[in-house]
Chain A
């Protein structure tokens, strides 16, 4: 197998999960390996691993216990603690990795109850970490088996001979690691981390680590290898196996819903009381997690993302399998035709072998996400990306453009980063497949057409030119976008159009055919972002997530339909605003009717609610909860488009419709719709300052 040669660059870890549907063939190790190697650049030589689940793999019902041991003494220690604690016998399978590895992997079948083994594992692991690291029991389930070590995924697969012996599984979890919290020189720090029948792979760095550790410290787990990721496996196991929580509920709680969501327990999927009782178990900071679990009758694949969506997470489904990945390229490597969508901020995705998709990780993915596979029809020079690295593609492209060719197509693109960064003004690049992260960054005038979906960070700091995506795009599209236009036929993820800016002769446009997640237009300083939802004209659902336009200082956002004001900007918690208003009532500054009016208001109380209802001293007093030195007042209007709007967006919108062959009827219907228009209340000038963006 040949893989692209990437220069080493720091990126996040890569995660992957592949679950077969009942009735479909088992998944081969080789497929899993080729998929996770698509994001080789996200990892490093410091750790990779796999977890394999097989429902039918354990007829006798014995546990398969796997330990890394430094030497014979450490192994004797493990065996002694096991034999003292477990009820039945154990049958050693011996070492499965060669003696030259720093820590050899030792395996044994163990006949035990869950609780005795649980205790033995904790005791052995505590002993093995004191006074120095001498080993670790890292896998002890009946249905799950972990294979991990120090190296890239290919190295680990070779170490355990996974491809050579054609290992197969109902579910694979895979990981390639970029260490942050702990060094990666020993295999004990590699992912997946397992606890009982759970295994997880994690990309991120959770800030709740210390709180989570305090939570688990007196709940039967006293030994930690010191990474945040291990704790996620331990907590999932504790909540579902010991505390008796259902998987869905545990996961919905672990993503740590905002209090405003928790107050509505229906929306949160749990009660505020449950949240408080389990305080300390929930996660904060960046994470995207894929986890496997087997309860003896079905196999589950769970995935969830943090509520700020600091890490990527996509899912895919086809007739045979269900996928979870850091990048779409991992899914496309195995399944060019699957339906792929982004998990929303704080979203939970759950599927099982027998039941299929249980939680989708967002609302209406089938409406908002698009499949867009096409083969080239125009006669242009062709580059086959298969087997090439991105720099090889880009230098070939440059040679074509320098020789006077104006249009080039690249086929079989899958996860190649940095494409479209060197397309000259007046030239065109057609991409067939799934371009990797950082597409069209710093584009200075080229036209880039993507027949497929793009990944994260499209059009970052783009100066001029066009990007036309026929599928979807993921997180952080059009960041610091400062000229030219970016069209997406489908949906985009989190933090679209953040820090977008404009100049006197350069106004950037981002037009999204589907929907956008949280923080649309955060810190936006200029330009125009539009969210159309053209496939959802008859669906009553918001087209943006929350916190749209927070910190916005300029520019304009158009979102089709009425967007509730609480989705726009940042608001103080409702209980605190209500209390303040009650204080004003007690002081005689507002009357009882007014107080009642706020108490019965649905959703959060916004600055517009208080400024339209209150005046004088009462308004002055309560305003301080909403405003600060860094607060810029937004103007949020829900209205039809007027001539002035069409002057601003008419031409790009027409081009959007032409580009995707959308009908004139649809155009007319769209421009007649109601839009939510967000701008700055005291915008000084209609145009940005300075003529053109300057190169930084």
Chain B
């Protein structure tokens, strides 16, 4: 995880070769902990993002939304108003989206371009995330996402596509019945099958997303953007004494900047110079370690050391 303090803001740590991470050193907690990146090698050199461009932008929903990186931040429904305000402003400045709850204060309406909220808050938020199924879809001049729990069942997709949705928001915190990795991969392929992938955006994630490595892996499995929530609160040191809003905002900005730089390093290490075209859904750049065959097939990821 990128540091939030230090001489220069948002500086990724440079560590040695080898891995200190799961599944072999740390315990694996999630499916993605058994996925590793298939890095660049001599014929496909890595790219050094400090000297050469690695583009992190993504366009969602056929180009209606542009994010500077495949990241959105979700705040707790009952988040501290100062923290909420800091997150919204930081997301605005860093050109990504903030997903806010019903307590979104009107005084932040100038930042609406960077806000996703429940459809009931339309008018306040520029982009709407809609809970529940396609039956409740409403028309809106702004992009509309269907918010759904991670699942293997996507029988409601045709109806939602018919209604002209702009994206699907897979939210781990909605009590899905399947790992978010599996849900993302199946949804990505489902939309591809229906020829709608480049019109309908996929945002996925929630409180278990720990940092840029998790984001990178979910993007490789098919997410256009990954939602982080708890990780932000932990990283900016919320709890204990309360920093001022401006200070908090800068910490969130620096965190996002650090994540962006780490995403560039991860993409560059795989020889990728463009996240939007090259990384999204590129399962070929992942390999599975000690993951059962059934899950591997659902993910579309090969076993490490085999193919």
Chain A residues proximal to chain B, CB less than 8 Å = 12, 180, 204-211, 213-214, 217-218, 256, 258-259, 272-273, 276-280, 282, 284-286, 307-308, 310, 519, 522-523, 547, 550-551, 570, 573, 575-576, 579-580, 582-584, 586-587, 621, 624-625, 627-631
Question: Once bound together, how far apart are the Cα atoms of A570 and B273, in whole Å?
Answer: 14
B9 is an interface residue with CB less than 8 A from chain A: yes
Give the complex CA separation of A208 and B193 in angstroms. Answer: 20
A582 contact set on B, CB distance < 8 A: 92
Q: Does the CB pair B273–A307 fall under 8 Å?
A: yes
CB neighbours (8 Å) of A308 from chain B are 47, 52, 273
Q: How far is the CB of A147 from chain B (nearest CB, A)?
A: 25
- Any A CB within 8 A of the CB of B295: no
B interface size (C-beta, 8 A): 56
Q: Do A180 and B278 touch across chains, with their CB atoms under 8 A apart?
A: no
Q: Which residue of B is nearest A281, CB measured?
A: B277
Cβ-defined contact, B198 with A280, below 8 A: yes
Would A286 and B44 count as touching, CB distance under 8 A? yes
Which of B7, B11, B282 has a CB less than 8 Å from the CB of A210? Answer: B282
Q: Can you pick out 28 interface pairs between chain A and chain B where the beta carbons lie within 8 Å of each other? A: A12-B43, A207-B44, A207-B270, A208-B272, A208-B277, A214-B192, A214-B281, A256-B277, A258-B53, A258-B55, A284-B274, A285-B271, A286-B43, A308-B47, A308-B52, A310-B45, A519-B52, A547-B52, A547-B53, A550-B51, A570-B51, A576-B57, A580-B95, A583-B93, A586-B89, A586-B111, A624-B10, A624-B257
B92 contacts A285, CB within 8 Å? no
Asked whether B78 is an interface residue with its Cβ less than 8 Å from the other chain, the reply is no
Cβ contact within 8 Å between A576 and B95: yes
Residues of the B chain whose Cβ atoms lie less than 8 Å from the Cβ of A205: 43-44, 271
Q: Which residues of B contact A209 (CB under 8 A)?
A: 282, 284
Report the minimum CB–CB distance from B286 to chain A (whole Å).
Answer: 8
Contact A210 B283 (CB under 8 A): yes
Nearest CB of B to A387, in Å: 31
In whole angstroms, how far apart are the Cα atoms of A583 and B285 in the complex? 36
Chain A residues near B192: list those with CB within 8 A. 214, 217-218
Task: Please determine whether A628 and B11 come into contact, CB atoms closer than 8 angstroms.
Answer: yes
Q: Is the pair A276, B62 in contact by a Cβ cutoff of 8 Å?
A: yes
B31 contacts the other chain (Cβ, under 8 Å)? no
User: B80 contacts the other chain (Cβ, under 8 Å)?
Assistant: no
Residues of chain B within 8 A of A580, CB atoms compared: 93-95
Query: Do B68 and A573 touch across chains, with their CB atoms under 8 A apart?
Result: yes
B115 to chain A, nearest CB (A): 13
Best-buried of B43, B62, B254, B257 by chain A (most CB within 10 Å): B43
| A579–B198 touching, CB < 8 Å | no
User: Does B8 sit within 8 A of A, measured CB to CB?
Assistant: yes
Q: How far is the CA of A550 from the CA of B94 in the complex (A)?
A: 24
B11 touches A180 (CB 8 A): no
Check B92 against A583 for contact (C-beta < 8 Å): yes
In the complex, the chain B residue whose C-beta lies closest to that of A617 is: B246
Which residue on chain A has the smallest CB distance to residue B64?
A: A276
Q: Which of A204, A272, A276, A631 has the most CB of B within 10 A?
A: A276
In Å, the complex CA distance between A58 and B45 comes to 43
Q: For the complex, give the distance between the alpha carbons of A579 and B94 in Å.
A: 7
CB distance from A574 to the nearest CB of B (A): 11
C-alpha gap A594/B89 in the complex (Å): 20
* List of B residues within 8 angstroms of A584 by Cβ: 93
Chain A residues, Cβ within 8 Å of B63: 272-273, 276
Starting from the known contacts A211-B277, A277-B198, A279-B280, 19 additional A-B residue pairs (CB-CB under 8 Å) come to A208-B272, A214-B283, A256-B277, A258-B53, A258-B55, A259-B57, A273-B62, A279-B59, A284-B274, A522-B51, A550-B51, A570-B51, A573-B57, A575-B95, A579-B94, A584-B93, A586-B110, A628-B8, A628-B11
- CB pair A629 B55 closer than 8 Å: no
Q: How far is the CA of A307 from the CA of B271 in the complex (A)?
A: 13
Contact (A550, B62) CB under 8 Å given A209-B284, A211-B280, A282-B277: no
Known contacts A580-B93, A583-B89: does B278 contact A284 (CB below 8 Å)? yes
Q: How far is the CB of A305 from chain B (nearest CB, A)?
A: 14
Residues of chain B with a CB closer than 8 A to A204's CB: 43-44
Q: Is the CB of A280 within 8 A of B281?
A: yes
Q: Find the B residue at minimum CB distance from A226.
A: B307
Pick the contact of A523: B45, B51, B62, B271 (CB < 8 A). B51
> Does B296 belong to the interface (CB within 8 Å)?
no
Asked if A550 and B193 sit within 8 Å, CB to CB, the answer is no
**CB distance B280 to A575 under 8 Å?**
no
Residues of B within 8 A of A282 (CB): 274, 277-278
B195 within 8 A of partner (CB) = yes
B34 at the interface (CB under 8 A from A): no
Q: In the complex, are the beta carbons of A211 and B279 less than 8 A apart?
A: yes
Decide if B47 touches A211 in the complex (CB within 8 Å): no
Q: How far is the CB of A447 from chain B (nearest CB, A)?
A: 33
Per-residue 0/1 for B1-33: is the Cβ within 8 Å of any A Cβ (1 yes, 0 no)? 000000111110000000000000000000000
List the B side residues contacting A629 at CB < 8 Å: 7-8, 11
Q: A180 touching B43 by the CB < 8 A rule?
A: yes
Tell me the bound Cα distance from A205 to B197 in angstroms. 26
B297 to chain A, nearest CB (A): 14
Q: Does B156 contact A (CB under 8 A)?
A: no
CA distance A218 to B281 in the complex (A): 13
- CB of B261 within 8 Å of the partner chain: yes
Which B255-293 residues have a C-beta within 8 angstroms of A?
257, 261, 270-274, 276-285
In the complex, A310→B279 CA distance in Å?
19
Contact indicator B272/A576 (Cβ below 8 Å): no
Residues of A with C-beta under 8 A to B59: 276, 279
A214 close to B282 (CB less than 8 A):
yes
For B261, the chain A residues whose CB sits under 8 A away are: 628
**Which residue from chain B places its CB closest to the CB of A569 in the assembled complex?**
B51
Q: Does B45 lie within 8 Å of A286, measured CB to CB? A: yes
| Chain A residues with CB under 8 A of B10 | 624
Distance of A258 Cα from B54 Cα, bound (Å): 10
Chain A residues with Cβ under 8 A from B254's Cβ? 624
Write the chain A residue with the least CB distance to B93. A583
- A350 and B18 alpha carbons, distance in the complex (Å): 45
B40 proximal to A (CB < 8 A): yes
In the complex, A550→B54 CA distance in Å?
A: 13
| Cα distance A273–B48 in the bound complex, in angstroms | 29
Q: How far is the CA of A624 from the CA of B274 in the complex (A)?
A: 21
Closest to A580 in B: B93
A16-B63 Cα distance, complex, nearest whole Å: 38
For B195, the chain A residues whose CB sits under 8 A away are 218
CA distance A629 to B250 in the complex (A): 18
Closest A-chain residue to B38, C-beta based?
A210
Inter-chain contact B284/A256, CB cutoff 8 Å: no
B210 at the interface (CB under 8 A from A): no
Q: Specify which chain B residues have a CB less than 8 angstroms from the CB of A307 in the assembled complex.
A: 273
Is A279 a contact partner of B198 (Cβ separation < 8 A)? Answer: yes
Take A205-B43, A576-B68, A628-B50 as given contacts and tell me if A587 and B285 are in contact as well, using a CB distance cutoff of 8 Å: no
